[in-house]
Every structure is written in C-alpha cells, then in structure tokens.
Structure 1
Amino acid sequence: MGTSRMNRQQLEARIRQLELENSRLRDRPVVPSRGDATRNRIRECAIDVLAAKGWHADLRDFTEAAGVGNSTFYRHFPGRDELVREVGRQMVQEVYDATLKLQKLDDGREMLVQWVELGFANVHRYGRLAVQVCFPEAVPPYLQDVVMRDALLRFTGWILKKCKEQGHCRSDASTRAMVRTFFALMHPFRIRWCEQEGLSQCEIFKETFQVFTSSYATPEAFEAFRAPHFELGAG
C-alpha cells in the first residue's frame, strides 16, 4: 500500500516536472535552422525576381539572386515551378487576410482607400506576378490555383455596392470598368515610370488614388477623399 502511494506521488511529481519543461519549451524563441534560413532566403529573393520578370523567370534567375547553386536549390524546393507556386500562394494569402479586415469596415470611403492601398502594396511587392495571376489565360497550369480574377471581381463588386449605397460612388459605375482602371493604374510599368520621374511611393499612391476616385466617386465623395482625414499612402 505504501509502495503504491509512493509510486503515485512520484508519478504526479514527474507529471508536474514535464508540464514545467513543456512550458519552458513553448516560451523559448524558435531559432530557425541553417536550412530554414537558406530556404527563406531563396523564397524572399524569388519574390524580387518574380516582381521583375513574372512567372517567365527561369531557375538560373532564382539561384543567382539567392546566391546558391542548383544542388542547394533542389535540397529546399522540388523544382522551379513549385517555388513560383509557393510565392503565388503566399501573395494570395496575404491579400485574402487583408480583405477579411476590410470587410469589417463600415465607412465605404475608408474601405475604398484601403482597397486601393492594398492593391498598390501588392503590386509594389510582387510586381508583374501580381498582375499575371489575375489573368487565367496568362499563367501556366501550375499557377491556375492562385488566379485571383474572379475573387477580385467579386470583392470589388461588394465594395462598389456598399459605396453606392452610401453615396460615395456614381450610380453608373461598373465593377468591371473599375477593375480595368485599377489594373491600368497599378501596372508595374507605370509605377516604374513614376519612380523614374522621381516620385516617392506616397506621391505615386496619391496620384493613383486621385485619378481612380475622379473616375468613379461622386463629386461630394471626391472632395471628402481629398480631406486631411484621409492620409493616403500612409501604410
């Protein structure tokens, strides 16, 4: 009886010790392994390559940008297509997470500001790839699962409907026309041209937003968009 009680006490003490050790492990900062760091570097460099060249970039573009050889690349990624798909999925997930936050806004004007800001930031980070994945006919089969055109049209239509209801957008504004204008203004070639003209990112965004809202906002809303309350490009 005494031995059984002692065993039970020892077991309870051991459980408490394990719980304490697990708690310490959870609180310990995760230090990425050397392999993880290399993989992350390849992926981050791939974002820059894809922004400049789109999905047409070849394996050599990625390895040279990351400063690794082919053998190192294949230790971390099955192939070039898988790397491009991973970056594409990362981009789509970032956009999706941001749209979830946008849906919680009540003010259509603020929603429109942040929607254009989101598109601007996405093109600034992912460049040509951000444009390509919105056109199914422009991407290869391995990227079809990250095509965003239908989702973009649906979400734009939802924002436009809300802005019309609140009197911020013209009643004759159409979703497809708005998206076409959006892509024309966000095209990487135009952004690069603005940069070559010496415009800052904030100035490019303000010019973009002014042209966009002058096309689709009501006169009253357009003046409100110009008010100091809206710090365009602050993000």
Structure 2
Amino acid sequence: MGSATSVTERVTACGAPKGRADAARNRERILNAAREAFVVHGADASLDEIARAAGVGNATLYRHFPDRDALVHGVMHAVTERIADRAERALAEENSFEALRSFVFAAAEERIGALCPMLSGRFDPVDPQSLAARRRVEGLTEELIRRAQRAGEVREDIGVGDVMVALSQLTRPLPGVGCGRIARFVERHVQLYLDGLRAPAKSELPGHAATLEELREDN
C-alpha cells in the first residue's frame, strides 16, 4: 500500500474537474457502487464489476481512481463525510434524543462495521484527510450525546466510544453470515440499542464509558 499522502494526492488529483457536473456524478456513482461491492465481496471486489454497476467505462473509473487503494480511500472518506454531514443535520433537530436516534440510524445505513474489517488492509486510518474526517464525526457524535445527556434523555454513564463500538458491531455480519442476510435485522437491533441508552437507566453498567483513546491504545 502506498503512503497516506500519496493516496490522498492521487484521489485529489483524479477528482472531478471543477464545473464538470457529469464528472462529479460519475465519481459519486463509482463510489456508491464500490461501497456496495466492498460490503458484499470485500476489498478484492472486481473493479470491472464496479464500473459496470456504476454505469461507466473502465477508463472513467481509472480516471477518477487510478488504483484500488485510491478507490478504497475514496470510499472510506466519502462514507465518513456522509456520516459527519448527517450528524451536523441531526444537531439542528429540536429534540435531542431524536437527533441522536436519527444520526445513529443514518450512520448504521453506511454499514461501516462491514466495511472496516474488509478494507483495513488497504486503508490507512492516519491518512491526514481521513483522520480529519474521522475526528469531525467523533466531535459531532460527542456533541449529540452530551446534548441528550444534558436534556436528561440519555443515561450519563455512556460516552462517544460506546456509540462508536455499537455502530461498528451492529452493522458487522456474523461469521458465516452474508451482509445481505443481516442487513434486514440492523434497524431492529439498532432500535434495541437506542432503547438501552434512554434515561433513566434501568441498570448499572459494569466498568466505565469507553473512550476513543482506550479503543486505539493497541494501534
């Protein structure tokens, strides 16, 4: 895998030219098709099939993403940015618990728990562009949680790390179970999880709230 900087530069250099709405649409189609392909087939999904699913030719795909690593980087960055944008929109909602709820469901729809394990070998989490996007998501998620806690709607003994872990686990397929089979149950299980966040708490949680620093200690 190339350096984080080189991947970012390749993605940026090959992005849609300014003023070219058709190029921007093609890039978005490629990213959406690639995300679906990576969820179903993993990081080695056929680039030819991704191009076909996006409705573009191979040359168009390679013009935007010159290699597989650049495409993986583009998918992960696009997914993270969409999650962050959804968090910002949620913060504009009046009811703090409903804001958190709508964000969690929107983030779950991106199936980040299915993507990350499959793409981890080709994705550099400390790439500057990706790191900035991830920190944006984390900061906005923390604000959603804190706002709901201040309103007395979310239990006090959870933190942003708890929500991040839950989103990852609830959207990750079980061993031997395809993503398509578990997808139909994600909404149900996310709602069960959200019910457990409500205040007043019905039980005392063991241990302490998961922090992002602890989750990254071994990385």
TM-score, reference length from structure 2 = 0.60
Are the equivalent residues in 2 in contact too, given 1:185–1:208 (CA < 8 A)?
yes
Shift of 1:166: 0.9
- Asked if residue 186 in structure 1 is aligned to residue 171 in structure 2, the reply is yes
- For residues 38 and 92 of structure 2, the distance between their equivalents in structure 1, rounded to whole angstroms, comes to 32
Higher-Rg member (1/2): 1
String of CA shifts for 1:173-196, please: whole Å, max 9, x gaps: 233223222322222448x66853
Q: Identity over the aligned pairs, expressed in percent? A: 21
Within the candidate set 124, 130, 143, 1:140 is matched to 124
Unpaired runs of 5+ residues, structure 2, are 1-19, 203-219
Compared with structure 1, are the counterparts of its residues 180 and 80 closer, same or farther at alpha carbon in structure 2 (3 Å cutoff)?
A: closer
What pairs up with 1:120-159 in 2 under 5 angstroms?
A: 120-123=108-111, 128-129=114-115, 131=116, 139-140=123-124, 145-147=129-131, 148-159=133-144
Deviation sequence 1:94-132 (CA, Å, 0-9, x none): 223222211212211111211111112211xx6633x35
1:102 and 2:86 are equivalent in the alignment: no
| Alpha-carbon spacing, 1:92–1:219, altered in 2? closer, same or farther (3 Å) | same
Paired residues of 1:182 and 1:212 also in contact (CA < 8 A): no
Deviations 1:33-77 (A, max 9, x none): xx88876654443222222345x326xx11234348866654553
The 1:204–1:142 alpha-carbon spacing in structure 2 relative to 1, beyond 3 Å, is closer
Instruction: Give 1:84's aligned residue.
Output: 72
1:34-45 counterparts in 2 under 5 A? 42-45=30-33
- Select the structure with the greater relative contact order (CA < 8 A; seq sep ≥ 6): 2
CA contact (8 A) 2:37 2:50 kept: yes
TM superposition score normalised by structure 1: 0.57
In 1, the alpha carbon distance for the partners of 2:44 and 2:28 equals: 18
The letter for the 2-side match of 1:175 is V
**How many angstroms apart in 2 are the aligned matches of 1:83 and 1:211?**
32
| 2:191 counterpart of 1:206 | no
Matched residues in 1 for 2:95 and 2:108: separation? 20
Give the secondary structure class of the aligned counterpart of 1:171.
coil
When the two chains are superposed, the root-mean-square deviation of aligned CA atoms in Å is 4.0
Please state if 1:218 is matched with 2:199: yes
Distance of 2:122 and 2:68 partners within structure 1: 18
1:90, distance to aligned residue in structure 2 (A)? 2.4
The partner residue of 2:181 within 169, 184, 196 is 196
- Greater helix content: 1
After superposition, the Cα gap between the structure-2 partners of 1:42 and 1:195, relative to the gap in structure 1 and judged at 3 Å, is closer
- Structure 1: segments with no counterpart, 5+ residues: 1-29, 222-235
